[in-house]
A and B are shown apart, each in its own frame.
Chain A
Amino acid sequence: MSDKHNNHKGVTSTRREFLRALGLSAAAMPFLANLPSLAATSSGQRKQRLIIMFSPDGVVPSTFWPDQEGAAFTFKESLKPLEPFRERTLVLNGVCDRVRGDGDNHMRGIGCLLTGVELFPGNIQGGSDTPAGWSSGISIDQEIKKYLQQNPATRTRFGSLEFGVMVPERADTWTRMCYSGPNKPIAPIDNPYQMFSKLYGRAKDQEQLKSVLDDVREDLKRVRAQVSVEDRRILEEHTTVVREMEQELHAASKDVGHAVPVLEPGVKKDNDNIPQISKLQIDLMVNSFAADFARVATLQYTNSVGQARFRWLGIQEGQHDLSHEPDNNAEAQEKLTRINHWYCEQLAYMAKRLAETPEPGGGGSLLDNTLIVWTNELGVGNSHTLDNIPFVMVGNGLGFQMGRSLRYQNASHNRLLLSLAHGMGHRISRFGNPDFCGDGPLPSLTA
């Protein structure tokens, strides 16, 4: 079943349920329910957040992985933008996606990345291997979201938000990373205005409504003057309700926890606008965390086999084409390094914004309570290996000991997924294919 289809259904039913449950007067609910520190005070625990950021086509190992292990390590070119956050960064080498089965490595690379389980057989044919369909399991972000949403203390309006940047308009194995269950891919929202309206549509509605209610009352008055005395009753009742609505809206607007962000208008979905879209999406994500709309977010740049053209970096070729170039094509490797450097800059911007934003109702910044995980569907583009999948983490959200470069020996990535769950308080013993869950969460992450 398609993600879009799920989406459609979801929107309709939740919207209707939402309305049915709350009525219009509660339309300010997003703000009321997410007043700063409500959750923190009720649970006595800090609000933890997890962001998973995806970029495609592997990395250039020689310019990506630090040579050193431990706390004393040096960022190479690809990771240089993280320098300001070095004490809050954790680089994991040697973590491998060992899930096999149907589908080529790009498909399994993205489809099993967060699910840790095989793809179903299907009708999507990659460049090699057998055709495959969707993943046969839920992804870790959705698993954690489900866990958080079950508990009133950690429940938020959306639970999770799935952001995208320039994701192709087609639903297939290469374009979907998050799954709410087997065969249930989730489409990322790559249009910042659509995301804005998801986050703040109600608030905008309220503003508009407030702006016309005065006129509606005037209108009722005019009509009332025209009808018979007996008929005035119904209009008077109507007027009373309108007045009540005005008062409720007025009260609700006082309770808005933070300012609704203003988006740069008119940024179209276009390859060359990727930098602006990226910034808009990151800003919206940080805002949504500040408003506590969600505790989990994903940000997916393009797709597995992503073919973005980094013209703003002076690179004309598509990323995927470049990634196929052999190691000895120094120019290609240099370009790929710059491309990953750019992605890393996005990560750094995200970290910066989170670090600048105070934790509402608590001490410190959002970054103190957020972990960002940057990852990729492949280890290296030209070999299509699923070994040494990049996992670069920034932020102090999950109690990991940051400021280090770690090396594992062929550790299954399912164990890292378990670590993320445990770090968020969700103590499951296996995730995805149990064969790859080994001895549970990865060792040495926490102090």
Chain B
Amino acid sequence: MRMKQCSIRVLPLYNSVEQTIRRLFQAMLPGRFTFPKRYAVLLMPLSVPVFGILSAYAVPGSEGRMVPIAAKSATPSGAKAPGAGSKARDSSKPARSLSSRQTTATSTQQSGEQIYRQMCISCHGVNGQGGKVFKGPLVGDRSIGQLARFIRLEMPPGRPTKLPVEDARRVAEYIHGAFYSPLARARNKPARVELSRLTVRQYRNAVTDLIGSFRAARQPDERRGLAAKYFKTQRNGQPILERVDSQIRFDFKTAGALPEQDDPYQFAMSWEGSVLAPDTGEYEFVVRTEQGATMWLNDLRQPLIDAQVKSGNSNEYRASVFLLGGRRYPLRLEFFKGVQGVNDLKKLKEKPPQNASLALEWKMPKRAGEVIPQRFLSPVVTAEVFVPVTPFPPDDRSVGYERGTSVSKEWVEAATEAALETTAYVTTHLSELSGVADDAKDRNERLREFCRKFVARAFRRPLSSEQMRLYVDRHFAGGNNQSADTELAVKRAVLLALTSPQFLYRETGVLETRATPSESAPAAVLPAAALKKTAANDSGAPTTGKTTPVSSATSTSDAYDVASRLSFVMWDSLPDEQLLKAAAAGELATREQVMQQAQRMATDPRAWFKMKEFLLQWLKVDHYPDLAKNPRRFPKFNEFVASDLRTSLEMSLEDIAWSEKTGFLELMLTDKFFLNGRLASVYGVSLAPDAPFQMVALDPGKRSGILTHPYILASFGYLDTSSPIHRGVLIARNFLGRQLRQPPAAFTPIAANLHPKLTTRQRVALQTRPSACASCHTLINPLGFSLETFDAIGSLRDLENGMPVDATGSYLSPYGQEVKFAGSTDLTRFLANSEEVHTAFVERLFQNMVKQPVRAYGPRTLTDLRQIFKVNRFNIRRQMIETAVVAALYGSNVSSSAAKKPGDAAGAIANQTAGDTKSAVKATSAANAGGVPRT
């Protein structure tokens, strides 16, 4: 009963918790009492997941007063501490119990719940679910005031007891908050894994990978740069030199690139390889040359930039293209000096020497232009990538992660349009993708096989005979081998597959039209030959069987479901060939096997890409896309510095967060970051001006962790000044998992020049002094103040406008502990080791990866996952894998003894983690035993 003790300690003045809270809420109204700062924390529950967002707050009552819904913030149901992560409702108990507190707090009056239990429960049931007399559930949309009046005058029916006004009101408040109001009902609804359509990201990845699965993948090796060929004169003929060039930035002046190119009027080079797009978005490619050049990207038949004709003074050629992040695109560049057309060299040589230079640059989404850095280039020419460009409406992110639990007309239309776009692409690349030549003799038959494969891969499972007929064979029924008819059949099959709910939705459950075990011969999704065989053997048997013997109380899923969940968690995309093969071979039957696959999948760049997007979202950096500072105040801080900082952040994240060896702690505490020469000069590190990005110590002892990365600090700041509020909100919400209300109105920060004698800290304190602000800002400000040693661009400072900087701060946890920070390193050390922070991170990670609420995966899953995080030394990559395994195996009957209860697969995990069974068990029991979180 740790919670109770803590709460009582901070609530000595009031004789009941309810009264306390009511007073507190009253105090929040302007013009009432001054709000006692240290109680504010009560109003903000810790790491309350989705359902709890509003639970701590008030809803306007009928009389316009703020009233507490319930005392959830002070006492979660059951005996569990909120930090422990259990949010499940125990249906045998009242939804919201204040009884435990009531017994300890000295009470002079009965709580609403007590009255309800004494007087109402016999008819209405413990949770208002109804009883013998009153059969319906006690739900409605009356306000508390109306409800109180009704209770007082009408209850019980026929012989109203005429409760005193105050008592009736308390009962009404209790009922309203616990189960009566729509809000309460929504909150009490058990979380479940909801049928979800693909999110926009998932849709794009899925069609891209679906097409890609018909192309031979070529993996880049460890070399970085582009494969170059140097030619003596023209581009045809044998190259005189082949090598790998690190980047394309050359100035040949008036000579050849090599001594062997001894005719300075004509020589040529070509480069090929691939380029990795680190982000999703619109890329602008730029070729700069005074001579002729052609550049191809992705589609190697159609140049993206054709600058073979030199004309006038133009020497800069630009083209934009939309690319999906985390993928490589083939690239080719050709350069030549000299004239084209009629050979007229004699005349040319009478001319003055000409300069020749060449640069290949890009502008990544939201970045400044730069020569494409070596680290993104590979000399290996990878396969073309189909990138659908149809615009989609953005996904719902209101719960903190993108989810596909609703459809709109815009979305269905966009998905249909994208299906048409994809169908057109398949049609124009048909012979390449299918491997069937346009004049092949058995083209009709072979394209039908191609379509079966296509549909099966789109549906992530082998097709039953009925599905084959429905989605493919029917369209080919015309049967005459006319090429136009065949192509039409392909188009229909592809279009139908891509508009089918079986492609567009996840977690559709096992359909009766799915393959029977006999039909889904191993690898039937895969080689065309296997499919043909399957079709030939098909005897039209009934198609209601289940593929793999898995079942559970909550859902039915088979090995293909496991494969599909795994791939959507790890990649936001379809299962790859290996995963489907494993499913077909029954090799996704145990936790170990699933784990092995997840580990393999983590090495794919798509996994890091997904993790990176999550981390950037966690750090909330894309909320403030234009990182600009006052150039008079920060003359060195320009768009290139901002762009380099972003690069530095992403490189630091990859290096620390994605490593096998380091993890969350290192991320939170590192004093080394990636800097290049330009950043070094801004942030006072000594590096050569043109030094490439490298890990260097930055303000050792005074700066620690990703929170103190200059990009984060600069992002959460104004043009001239830091913003302790933005920084504090980031820490409170995204690190500590605290819920904060929106400010009651939009405020403009007090301009610094109105109070030249105040520091930023003092101005913030002044502006947030009113009691309406204080309820949240007593939490926010002292967190943000701890970072005051960093100015608007994230540079270290001791003074602000000549005044000393005060970076002391504090945090009052919901458990009642107050932690004091002397500055940023104290703060980050606290955060790094805080269980609140770990829980919030684990939950956020889960929900971003899985796109479902973690509560839906069982009451203990979050606790277990946090324990796993700890056992694995807070390794983030590992945590992604564990998350994927939990989600993939949910509801499936894995051969693991520990997963006894359905939906409690996580229980198995703690015992099998990292081969460290003992410590896991020990740690788990320690957590279960309770105990004050260490800070």
User: Are chains A and B native binding partners rather than an unrelated pairing?
Assistant: yes
Q: Which residues of A contact B (CB under 8 A)?
A: 1-5, 8-9, 12, 15-16, 19-20, 23-25, 27, 119-127, 131-134, 136, 170-174, 182-183, 201, 205, 208-209, 211-213, 215-216, 219-220, 222-223, 226-228, 230-231, 234-235, 237-238, 241-242, 244-245, 265-266
Closest to A125 in B: B339
Which one of B160-168, B224-232, B316-324, B642-650 is at the interface? B316-324
What is the minimal beta-carbon distance from B678 to any residue of chain A, in angstroms?
30
What is the minimal beta-carbon distance from A185 to any residue of chain B, in angstroms?
8
Flag if A123 contacts B413 (CB, 8 Å).
Answer: no
Flag if B344 contacts A125 (CB, 8 Å).
Answer: yes
Q: Does B914 interact with chain A (Cβ within 8 Å)?
A: no
Q: Does B505 interact with chain A (Cβ within 8 Å)?
A: yes
Q: Does B405 interact with chain A (Cβ within 8 Å)?
A: yes
Interface members, chain B 291-329 (any A CB < 8 Å) = 291-292, 294, 302-314, 317-322
A238 CA to B504 CA in the complex, in Å? 11
Flag if A234 contacts B413 (CB, 8 Å).
Answer: no
Supposing A123-B292, A133-B309, A245-B413 touch, asked if A216 and B499 sit within 8 A by C-beta, the answer is: yes
Q: Does B502 interact with chain A (Cβ within 8 Å)?
A: yes
Our pick among B308, B313, B340, B414 for the contact of A2 (Cβ within 8 Å) is B308
Task: Specify which chain A residues have a CB less than 8 angstroms from the CB of B872 in the assembled complex.
Answer: none
Flag if B305 contacts A2 (CB, 8 Å).
Answer: yes
Task: Specify which chain B residues have a CB less than 8 angstroms from the CB of A16 in the assembled complex.
Answer: 389-391
A-B contact pairs, 23 of them (CB 8 A): A4-B302, A5-B319, A8-B302, A12-B321, A12-B322, A19-B390, A23-B414, A121-B311, A121-B312, A122-B310, A123-B291, A123-B292, A123-B309, A125-B343, A131-B339, A205-B420, A209-B495, A216-B496, A228-B195, A231-B195, A234-B405, A238-B412, A242-B412
Flag if B341 contacts A126 (CB, 8 Å).
Answer: yes
Flag if A265 contacts B484 (CB, 8 Å).
Answer: yes
Q: Does B197 interact with chain A (Cβ within 8 Å)?
A: yes
Interface members, chain B 322-351 (any A CB < 8 Å) = 322, 338-344, 348
Flag if A9 contacts B412 (CB, 8 Å).
Answer: no
What is the minimal beta-carbon distance from A246 to any residue of chain B, in angstroms?
11
Closest to B423 in A: A208
Supposing A223-B501, A235-B195 touch, asked if A171 and B308 sit within 8 A by C-beta, the answer is: yes
Flag if B500 contacts A216 (CB, 8 Å).
Answer: yes
A23 CA to B509 CA in the complex, in Å? 31
Q: Does B548 interact with chain A (Cβ within 8 Å)?
A: no
Flag if A172 contacts B307 (CB, 8 Å).
Answer: no
Our pick among B196, B343, B408, B416 for the contact of A245 (Cβ within 8 Å) is B416
Task: Specify which chain B residues have a CB less than 8 angstroms from the CB of A223 in the assembled complex.
Answer: 501-502, 505, 508, 511
What is the minimal beta-carbon distance from B660 to any residue of chain A, in angstroms?
39
Flag if B339 contacts A212 (CB, 8 Å).
Answer: no
Task: Specify which chain A residues have a CB less than 8 angstroms from the CB of B491 in the assembled complex.
Answer: 208
Task: Specify which chain B residues have a CB less than 8 angstroms from the CB of A237 in the assembled complex.
Answer: 406-408
A133 CA to B315 CA in the complex, in Å? 12
Interface centre among B317, B407, B511 (most CB of A within 10 A): B407
Flag if B413 contacts A208 (CB, 8 Å).
Answer: no
Flag if B389 contacts A15 (CB, 8 Å).
Answer: yes
Supposing A120-B312, A122-B312, A237-B407 touch, asked if A9 and B341 sit within 8 A by C-beta, the answer is: no
Flag if B342 contacts A125 (CB, 8 Å).
Answer: yes
A182 CA to B590 CA in the complex, in Å? 66
Flag if B304 contacts A8 (CB, 8 Å).
Answer: yes
A48 CA to B193 CA in the complex, in Å? 62
Task: Specify which chain B residues have a CB less than 8 angstroms from the CB of A234 in the assembled complex.
Answer: 194-197, 405-407
A46 CA to B192 CA in the complex, in Å? 65
A170 CA to B306 CA in the complex, in Å? 10
Q: Does B410 interact with chain A (Cβ within 8 Å)?
A: yes
A303 CA to B299 CA in the complex, in Å? 26
Q: Mark B875-908, 1 if CB is under 8 A from A, else 0.
A: 0000000000000000000000000000000000
A126 CA to B310 CA in the complex, in Å? 14
Q: Mark B477-516, 1 if CB is under 8 A from A, else 0.
A: 0000001100010011001100111100100111111000
When A and B form their complex, what is the total count of cross-chain residue pairs whose Cβ atoms lie within 8 Å?
188
Supposing A122-B311, A226-B510 touch, asked if A25 and B391 sit within 8 A by C-beta, the answer is: no
| Beyond A8-B319, A127-B342, A223-B505, 17 extra complex contacts between A and B, CB < 8 Å | A5-B317, A12-B320, A16-B390, A120-B313, A122-B310, A124-B309, A131-B339, A131-B344, A172-B341, A201-B424, A219-B500, A226-B509, A234-B407, A238-B501, A241-B407, A245-B412, A245-B413
A124 CA to B292 CA in the complex, in Å? 10
Our pick among A24, A123, A134 for the contact of B417 (Cβ within 8 Å) is A24
Our pick among A127, A170, A174, A238 for the contact of B407 (Cβ within 8 Å) is A238
Q: Does B409 interact with chain A (Cβ within 8 Å)?
A: yes
A133 CA to B340 CA in the complex, in Å? 10
A375 CA to B312 CA in the complex, in Å? 27
Flag if A125 contacts B320 (CB, 8 Å).
Answer: no
Q: Does B688 interact with chain A (Cβ within 8 Å)?
A: no
Q: Does B470 interact with chain A (Cβ within 8 Å)?
A: yes
Closest to A187 in B: B306
Task: Specify which chain A residues have a CB less than 8 angstroms from the CB of B317 in the assembled complex.
Answer: 1-2, 5
A1 CA to B317 CA in the complex, in Å? 6
Closest to A238 in B: B407
Task: Specify which chain B residues have a CB less than 8 angstroms from the CB of A4 in the assembled complex.
Answer: 302-303, 306
Task: Specify which chain B residues have a CB less than 8 angstroms from the CB of A23 in the assembled complex.
Answer: 410, 413-414
A125 CA to B343 CA in the complex, in Å? 7
Task: Specify which chain A residues have a CB less than 8 angstroms from the CB of B484 in the assembled complex.
Answer: 265
What is the minimal beta-carbon distance from B134 to any residue of chain A, in angstroms?
25
Task: Specify which chain B residues have a CB less than 8 angstroms from the CB of A226 in the assembled complex.
Answer: 508-512
Interface centre among B196, B499, B501 (most CB of A within 10 A): B501
A372 CA to B412 CA in the complex, in Å? 45
Supposing A120-B312, A123-B310, A226-B510 touch, asked if A241 and B501 sit within 8 A by C-beta, the answer is: no
Flag if B195 contacts A172 (CB, 8 Å).
Answer: no
What is the minimal beta-carbon distance from A380 to any residue of chain B, in angstroms?
20
Flag if B319 contacts A215 (CB, 8 Å).
Answer: no
Supposing A134-B312, A219-B501, A226-B508 touch, asked if A24 and B416 sit within 8 A by C-beta, the answer is: yes
Flag if A136 contacts B312 (CB, 8 Å).
Answer: yes
Supposing A216-B500, A235-B501 touch, asked if A19 and B417 sit within 8 A by C-beta, the answer is: yes
